[in-house]
Amino acid sequence: MPVYEYQCTSCGRKVEVMQRFSDPPLEECEVCHGKMKKLISQCTFHLKGTGWYVTDYGSKGKKDSNVSKPKESKASAKASKDKNTSSS
C-alpha cells in the first residue's frame, strides 16, 4: 500500500498516510481543520523475503566463480611428474 504525504495549508503540519489508490485524499487537517494538500515526495520501497543479494544473487555468483578446473587423470599426472623428475 502506498504512503502519501500531506501538508496543511493553514498550520504547515505534515502527515504521512498509508492509503490505497482507491481511497479519497485527505481534505481536512485534524489539528486546525485547515485544507490539506498532497505533496510529491520521494518514493520508497520495501524488499520482502529472505534476502536480496546474499540469497538470490550472491550464492549463484560464488558457485560460478568457484568452478573447478578439469582434473588431470592419474596417468597424465604421473607422466608429468616423471617428466619433471627426469629432466632435473
In 3D space, the residue among 4, 41, 6 whose CA is nearest the CA of residue 19 turns out to be: 4
What is the pTM assigned to this prediction?
Answer: 0.47
Q: Which domains does the chain have, with CATH numbers?
A: 1-44 (2.20.28)
What whole-number distance in Å separates Cα of residue 43 and Cα of residue 38? 14
Residue in the block written with cell 632435473: 88
Q: Check residue 76 and give its pLDDT.
A: 59
Residue in the block written with cell 485534524: 30
Burial class (CB in 10 A: 0-12, 13-18, 19+), 20: exposed
pLDDT digits (tens, 9 = 90+) for 40-75: 877 767 666 666 665 555 555 555 545 555 555 566
